[in-house]
Amino acid sequence: MSPPSPFRPLEPVLSRAKGQRPCNTKMDRPYLSVVIPAYNEALRIGRSLERIREYAGAKPFPVEIIVVDDGSTDEMPALVHEMALSWPELRILHNEPNQGKGWSVRRGFLEAQGKYVLFTDADLSAPVEETEKLFAALESADAVAAIGSRSLNRKLIGVHQPLLRDLSGRIFNLFVRLFTGLAIRDTQCGLKLFRRERVRRAFELQRIRGFGFDVEVLFLIQRLGGRISEVPVRWNNDPATKVHFLRDSIRMLGDLIAIRWRGLTGGYAVQR
C-alpha cells in the first residue's frame, strides 16, 4: 500500500470565501458523520467528545456527531445532553434496552447524513486524528471503506491490549479468513471510515447485533463489490473494557458461522 498522503478534502464541496470562518452549524449538510456506539461510558465519553470537538473544529467542513446510547444506566446520557446544549452538531440516540454494539453502529450509520461516516469506539483507543490516514487511503485506493488496523504496523501500537486479548484477536482473525475469505488482518479495530452511499446497502443487510458486526459489514461490502483499504493506525489501548472475554468470544465465533451460513445459502439477498 502506498504511504498515506497528507489529508485534503476529497472534493471541493466546501469552497468558501477566503477568510470566512468555517461554518459548522446545524444548517449545513454534514460532510463527515462521526458515529459513537456507547454503553455506560460516563467515565470516558466526556474527554473523548472534547477531543472529537477539537478535531472537528479544525476541519473546513461540517461534522455531525451521533452518540448511540445503548440503554446506558449510568450518567452518560445526561452528560452528552449537556454537552449538546453548546454543540448543535452533537446529538444522541437512545436504544431501550441495550441492543449491542453492532445494532448501535448500524442505527447510527442509517441516521447519518454525511458524505462520509466514521465510526469510532468511545474510548478513542485509536486516536480520532488517525482519521486523516483513512481519508487518504479512501482516496488513493479508490476504496469505499478505509479501516484502521493494529496488525499491519506493530510499531504504531503504544499501549498494547492484554496478552490474552491480543492472542485471541489473532486466532479470531484466522477464523475470519477461514469462514469469510476476507483478506484483512484486523477486522476489529474501532476506527473505520466509509463512503456513506457506497456502503449503505451493506449496513442495511447487516444483522449481527454484537461485537461480530464488523466482520459481517466488511464481508457484505466485499460481496457487493466494494474495495476495502486496511490502514495501520496508532493505538493506545484503554484497559477498561465492556467485553466479557469468554461470553463474547463464543458469540463472535457463532457470528462467523452465521455469516458463512447466510453467505452460502443466499441469506443476504445480495444483488450487485
Decide whether 113 or 241 has the Cβ nearer to ligand GDP.
241
Calculate ∠ Cα 54-18-56, nearest 5°.
Answer: 15
Residues in 199-228 at the binding interface with ligand GDP, rule: CB under 6 A? none
CB 61 within 8 A of CB 25: no
C-alpha cell belonging to residue 10: 476529497
Angle between helix axes 213-223 and 245-265 (nearest 10 degrees) is 20
- If contact means CB under 5 to 8 A according to the sort of partner, which of ligand GDP, Mg ion, none does residue 243 touch? ligand GDP
The minimum distance between CB 36 and Mg ion, in angstroms, equals 12
Contacts with ligand GDP: how many residues (CB under 6 A)? Answer: 18
Task: Pick one of Mg ion, ligand GDP, none as the site partner of residue 148 (Cβ within 5 to 8 A by kind).
Answer: none
198/225 Cα distance (integer angstroms): 10
**Residue 193, phi then psi, degrees to nearest 5:** -120, 135
- Select from 70, 139, 186, 255 the one that contacts ligand GDP (CB under 6 A): 70
192 binds ligand GDP (CB under 6 A): no
**Candidate list 123, 186, 214, 248; residue touching Mg ion; CB under 5 A:** 123
Q: How many residues does the chain have?
A: 272
Burial 84-104 (b: 16+ CB within 10 A, else e): beebebbbbeebeebbbbbbb
Interface with ligand GDP by CB under 6 A: which residues?
37-39, 41, 68, 70, 98, 100-101, 104, 121-123, 125, 190, 241-243
